[in-house]
Structure 1
């Protein structure tokens, strides 16, 4: 027969596990208002601080990778591309290996880790954002696209550096339309951020701990 202290300890354990699961779910859930960068950063304080650290590191406004991330995954951490099926019925893998916030393919992600000298996870926001900033930086160096040109950056992000140089996007009217949307969203995000950036900074101790 269980004694009262044992029952209480078990109850506390169950509550603690439930709370941890709820916090984990909140941490990975997409933002409530994905079309408003200010709302995203107010809701996801960890995302905001990660984005600001990376702005300082890469000298790329966060509005650009965030606009691309919105298009690629809708800020979902564990999203895959569509499944393939055997006999149109049995699920069998995915169309590509693209996965996570940045929808980075496995081989490209491994190349990034090797060349950048880092390791990370595609379903971790800060890791995915760092990958995107690395890719955008390389796009500027390889294809000479300014880091603030989200429209053309997205074309190179989608079709690859070589694909952009070969203009493979030119025959894809749908992709050009999507790139236009990404460019417009990046501009909207930047206007929103310019209005709220002072409010987002938080107090001294929040800023202090975020940089540790």
Structure 2
């Protein structure tokens, strides 16, 4: 019977965390951590574990998640419209906090041996971001604290980054620039709330 109660409690905690809404003050990393750090779900600890494992600073990780999903665990790209008004397919398979694509998420699960990982779980998603940025650093020579270039590679994929697909694309350059600025802001804020 105790095993049944434990499984029931775990299931209840999981269902409650799935219903959680995104933090309301997403431009303040201290507020994000304050709003989401609890007994079942400690976002700060998850981000710090990822930093220790992959060497990617917490502000870079958090700025990436903020840009990708606004800290919404069930975020998806909008649907396209058929005939201009009928909701149709989504633009991509991006999903969850990290907006990881199906294929890249499957690669992460295989390489990390984290077979229970879910894109809707913050700890798994931030670990994915750390893994992705670490592979970018190792294979493309981007520094682990270079938010601008890490985000370009994250957004475009490794091949798109290698091809320089951001050159001449001011939209993606602005996305990467604003992610870099957010990481700098988060780094300053973390000094105040540690």
TM-score, scaled to structure 2: 0.85
Alignment of 1:137 with 2:129, yes or no, is: no
Shift of residue 53, structure 1, vs aligned partner? 2.0
Shift of residue 56, structure 1, vs aligned partner? 2.1
- The total of aligned residue pairs comes to 177
Alignment of 1:171-186 (within 5 A): 171-186=168-183
The match for 1:159 is: 156
Whichever of the two has the greater Rg, that structure is 1
Alignment of 1:79 with 2:75, yes or no, is: yes
Tell me the SS of whatever aligns to 1:168. Answer: coil
Higher relative helix content: 1
RMSD: 1.8
The match for 1:115 is: 111
Task: Provide structure 1 residue ranges, at least 5 long, that are not aligned to the other structure.
Answer: 1-19, 198-212
Task: Provide structure 2 residue ranges, at least 5 long, that are not aligned to the other structure.
Answer: 1-11
Q: Distance between the aligned counterparts of 2:48 and 2:95, measured in 1?
A: 24
Q: Distance between the aligned counterparts of 1:179 and 1:112, measured in 2?
A: 23
Q: Distance between the aligned counterparts of 1:168 and 1:55, measured in 2?
A: 28
Shift of residue 25, structure 1, vs aligned partner? 6.3
C-alpha contact (below 8 Å) 2:55/2:134 kept by paired residues: no
The match for 1:69 is: 65
Moved runs in structure 1, 4+ residues, more than 6 A? none
Alignment of 1:39 with 2:25, yes or no, is: no
Shift of residue 40, structure 1, vs aligned partner? 1.1
Which whole-Å deviations, capped at 9, do the CAs of 1:97-135 have from their partners, x for residues lacking one? 111100111111111111222221111101100100000
Alignment of 1:51 with 2:43, yes or no, is: no
Tell me the SS of whatever aligns to 2:48. Answer: helix
Shift of residue 147, structure 1, vs aligned partner? 0.9
Tell me the SS of whatever aligns to 2:184. Answer: helix
Shift of residue 24, structure 1, vs aligned partner? 2.1
C-alpha change, 1:194 and 1:27, in structure 2 (3 Å) is: farther
